[in-house]
Amino acid sequence: MAETLAVLSAMTFALSIGIETASIFSDSQTLINSINKKEMKLEIYGAINDIYLLASSFKSISFQFIPRTANVRADLIAKQALWATN
């Protein structure tokens, strides 16, 4: 769920500053597969539905898996942000 909310937040922010084309990368292969296959998983239904709706607001958007080992710095920053909110 945290990865889903992070993607949703990034998309919302991008649209709020006028970005029309985006590539969203996540180390959650399950999430990226669900988004790309348009699967509606019960546990993340509301957030993933919002992702699908927001995606239609972009001229172009892609969702891609990136292994955590190739994304160490972003993963660390995301964890620090999560710890700061708890």
Query: How many beta carbons lie within 10 A of that of residue 74, not counting itself?
Result: 15
**Average pLDDT of span 9-27:** 94
pLDDT in tens, 69-82: 887 887 777 777 76
**pTM for this structure?**
0.78
Classify residue 58 by burial, with Cβ atoms within 10 Å: 0-12, 13-18, 19+.
middle
Could you give the domains of the chain? 2-85 (3.30.420.10)
Cα–Cα distance between 39 and 45 in angstroms, integer?
A: 9
